[in-house]
Structures are given as structure tokens and as C-alpha cells.
Amino acid sequence: MSKPKPARFRTTNWSAYNAALRKRGPLMAWLDKEMALHAPHEGRPGRPPVFSDAAIQFCLSIKVLFKLPLRQTAGMVASLLRLAGLVWPVPDCSTLSRKQKTL
């Protein structure tokens, strides 16, 4: 049994297609400069966490929103922070991987 041929979509009205792409709008991300990026010291023995849950959750939201792997997520978040003029460290992919199981 052979596979069915995939559907082919052809654009016939290029002006309407281009106008629809322009209407999608810009990407906006609000970053609060007062957000606690670093985790507070918990007073327990052992190494304290470096990044707060809010910072990890922001990175994981970008991951889910754009359907990115963790390495690309770290790069995109670094790019967004650079565009916003913020000099914040970005959690690496192993930190995101560990924390996404518990958040």
C-alpha cells in the first residue's frame, strides 16, 4: 500500500499573503528590572541555587512559546536580555533541564 501524496498549498494572492504576514505584529516581552534573578539564600546546608524560580520560569516559558530545545532557549533568552539592555546572566541548559522537572 502506497502512502498518500502530501497536500500542496500554493499561494495565488501574494499581496494578501504579504499583508497578512505584516499584520501578525511585533514580538513584545516585558522584563521587570526589579525581578529577583538570583535565588535567595535558604539557610540550608549545601550549595544554594544560583537562579530564582522566576528566572527559570521565564526561560522555560520562552522554550514552550517558541518550541525550542534548551540550548537554543538559553541563546534566545540571552539575546532578549541583550536587546533589553540588561546585563544579566542566563541559566545554562543543564540548569534549565534540572529545574523544569520540579517547576
* Residue spans per domain, the chain: 28-100
> What cell does 60 get?
522555560
Instruction: Note the pLDDT of residue 14.
Output: 85
pLDDT, one tens digit per residue, over 71-91 is: 999 999 999 888 888 888 899
pLDDT, one tens digit per residue, over 7-53 is: 887 878 888 888 887 887 777 777 777 776 777 777 777 766 788 88
What DSSP character marks residue 33? T
Residue at 87: amino acid letter:
V
Is the pTM for the entire model greater than 0.85?
no
Instruction: Note the pLDDT of residue 70.
Output: 92
**Helix, strand, or coil (residue 52):** coil
